[in-house]
Chains A and B, each alone.
Chain A
C-alpha cells in the first residue's frame, strides 16, 4: 500500500462526524499539524470493533499539533506539542503541502 504522507508533511484532521467506534478524538477534528512519523499499517479499528476484518489495512501516522493551535487559552510554551496517532482516512493535505 502506498504511504500517502511522509514526515514533515502538513496535514489536517478531517472535520467529519462519524457514528460508532472512532479512534480520532473530537478535539482534533479540523485541526492542522504535521506528520511526525509513519507508524505502519494496521487493521482498521473502526471495522474491527464490529467483528469485521479491518482489511485492507490502514496507514497510521503519528501527527504533531502545536498546543497553541488546539486551545485558545493554552497555558504553556509556544513549543509545547500534542501528538496523536491518526489513521490515514482521517487526514487530508494541510496548508503548506508536503515537505
Chain B
C-alpha cells in the first residue's frame, strides 16, 4: 500500500485498514483515479475550524454580517472568501443570554464539513451521539462548560439535509480586541456548542477535553 497520505501513519484502526483496501481496489478497477483521491484530500484539508472562527469574529464586530450569517450561512461564508458549496444547507444558530445551542448527528456524523473540515473523533463516537440528545447538560459539564440553570438548552440533531454551526456569544472583557484576536478565542468545540469562548485572561477549565 502507498504511504503518500500525510494522515495515514496515524490510521492504524481496522476501519482505516478497510478503507485502504477499498481505496486500492477502486483504483485498481479504475472506478476512481489517484488525482481524484488527492483532490478529495485537498478539499478536506483546505477546510478547518478557523473558517468558523472567522465567521463568528466578523459577526461579533459587524451586525449586518451577523444578520447575513444567521439568514444565509453560505452567502456569509462566500462573502469572506470561503467555498461553502455542498448539497446540504448550512445553518448557523445563535447563542444568547437565554438559549444555548448544541449540535449532534445521532444517525452518523453530519457536520458542516464544507466550512469546518473533518469533525473531531469524539463527535463521531457512539457515546457523544447517544448522550448529546438525552443528557446534553451532563455532556457539556464533562467538557468543562455548564450553562446557567435558567438558560434553555436547544439540541439540534442534524438528521437530514442541514448542517449546523453555533454562533457563540462574544465574551465580556473583549471589547478592545480586533477581529483576528477575537477569532483566536473561538475553538472548534465552541462551534459545536460543547464549550463557549472565554476572554483571554480567563482560566481555561482544566477538565475540558477534546
Contacts and interface: CB of A to CB of B under 8 A. Distances in A.
Interface of A: 23-25, 27, 39-40, 42, 45, 60, 62, 67, 70-71, 74-77, 79-87
Interface of B: 89, 106-107, 133-138, 149-162
Nearest to A45: B160
11 contacts: A74-B135, A75-B137, A75-B138, A77-B153, A80-B152, A81-B153, A82-B154, A84-B156, A84-B157, A84-B159, A85-B162
Interface of B: prevailing SS:
mixed
A81 B159 contact: no
A6 to B, nearest CB: 18
Given A76-B135, A80-B152, A86-B159, 20 more contacts: A23-B107, A23-B160, A25-B106, A25-B157, A25-B159, A27-B134, A39-B162, A40-B89, A60-B161, A67-B155, A74-B135, A75-B138, A76-B136, A77-B152, A81-B154, A81-B155, A82-B133, A84-B159, A85-B157, A85-B162
A23 B136 CA distance: 21
Contacts of A74: 134-135
A48 to B, nearest CB: 10
Contacts of B157: 25, 82-85
Q: Which 3 A-B pairs have the closest CB atoms?
A: A85-B160, A79-B152, A84-B157
Contacts of A82: 133, 154-155, 157
Contacts of A45: 160-161
A83 B149 contact: no
A15 B111 CA distance: 27
B162 A77 contact: no
Contact of A77 (B133, B138, B149, B159): B149
Contacts of B138: 75
A52 to B, nearest CB: 16
Contacts of B152: 77, 79-81
Nearest to A87: B160
Contacts of A76: 135-137, 153
B160 A86 contact: yes
